[in-house]
Amino acid sequence: MQPDAAAPSKRRWRERVEWLVDHFRAEWQIYVMLAPMIIWFIVFLYKPMYGLQIAFRDYSVFRGIAASPWVGLEHFETLFSNSQFLRAVKNTVYISALSLIFGFPVPILLALMFNEILNEFYKRTAQTIVYLPHFISTVIIAGIVITAFSPSAGIVNTVLGWFGIDSIYFLIKPEWFRPIFIGSGIWQEAGFSSIVFLAAIAGVNPSLYESAVVDGASRWQMMWRITIPSIMPTIIIMLIIRIGNLMEVGFELIILLYQPATYQTADVINTFIYRQGLQSGQYDLAAAAGFFNAVVAFILVMIANTLSKRYSRTSLW
């Protein structure tokens, strides 16, 4: 058996190599096209994953990643006994959940309302305006918020003044941070997010409405009995995606708006990482926090994808 088996497998091996050589000779062009992208992914996204091991090492800039000593789970123990980190985890979940509860229904409502507008010009003008903030930089959003909520000069306090209410310095009040953050998020994204739902509404079979009209249904009834049930799959998919991204709080806006006075309600995991890592230079500890965040996010995304597959037999990617 033994000597006989070796010869054909050797021949097959050679055939395979020859086939590969022929393949690359004929099709080298697609590999040339692929290469820059793959190299980019390796250099900019996979190499940092290798660097993630500093979460388990006592990282020193001078020694480099590989030569820094292993410390096991020490950084994670430090993190989970650090009240600031625990607060950041709590705030991340809070802010995400509140944005979901208050922010998620708004684009659906908007899409339903846009659908009921018959004047095309009015509809298109309104849409053009409500999509606009999506294209505005976070820094500008923050600039607008800071100006509008300023204690002396801001329009918000001016209006409160008309009703005899004393000026409030909103941006140093912890209890005001979340409403302002979530409100500006809705202002910026609700309009643009309605596009997905409008597209779903556009896909509803028109004959459903026609027969409803014959039966004498009102617009209100048609919205509840036809439109909303028809776009339910889209609503559920979008909800699942949002749950999958729960750990992704818009931390750029938080960095621009928060102050030490509001850390207690505003500080989230990513802003904690930014301060500990990039501002205080505790790279290993911050990388550990980032690792924790990425693992939780990964689990959530996997759950979301499984749910979406089960629910609609469509995968999210």
Residues 143-162 that bind other proteins (CB under 8 A): 143-144, 146-148, 150, 152-155, 157-158, 161
Under the binding rule (CB under 8 A), the answer on residue 195 touching other proteins is yes
CA 313 to CA 105: how far, in whole Å?
A: 24
Under the binding rule (CB under 8 A), the answer on residue 224 touching other proteins is no
Closest residue by Cα to residue 288 from 299, 277, 300: 277
Q: Which residue from 86, 261, 302, 303 is in contact with other proteins, where contact means CB under 8 A?
A: 302
Question: Which of residues 256 and 307 has its CB atom nearest to other proteins in the complex?
Answer: 256
Under the binding rule (CB under 8 A), the answer on residue 121 touching other proteins is no
Under the binding rule (CB under 8 A), the answer on residue 66 touching other proteins is no
Would you state the structure tokens that stand for residue 42, as one six-digit string?
């390796």
Q: Which residue from 67, 73, 86, 140 is in contact with other proteins, where contact means CB under 8 A?
A: 140
Only segment of 6-14, 69-77, 83-91, 127-135 that touches other proteins (CB under 8 A): 127-135
Query: C-alpha distances in angstroms, 286 versus 77, 90, 282, 283, 293?
Result: 13, 17, 6, 5, 11
Under the binding rule (CB under 8 A), the answer on residue 34 touching other proteins is yes
Under the binding rule (CB under 8 A), the answer on residue 49 touching other proteins is yes
Under the binding rule (CB under 8 A), the answer on residue 315 touching other proteins is yes
Which residues, at least 6 apart from 31, have a Cβ–Cβ distance to it below 8 Å? 24
Angle at 52 between CA 47 and CA 55, to 5 degrees: 165
CA 59 to CA 116: how far, in whole Å?
A: 59
Under the binding rule (CB under 8 A), the answer on residue 16 touching other proteins is no
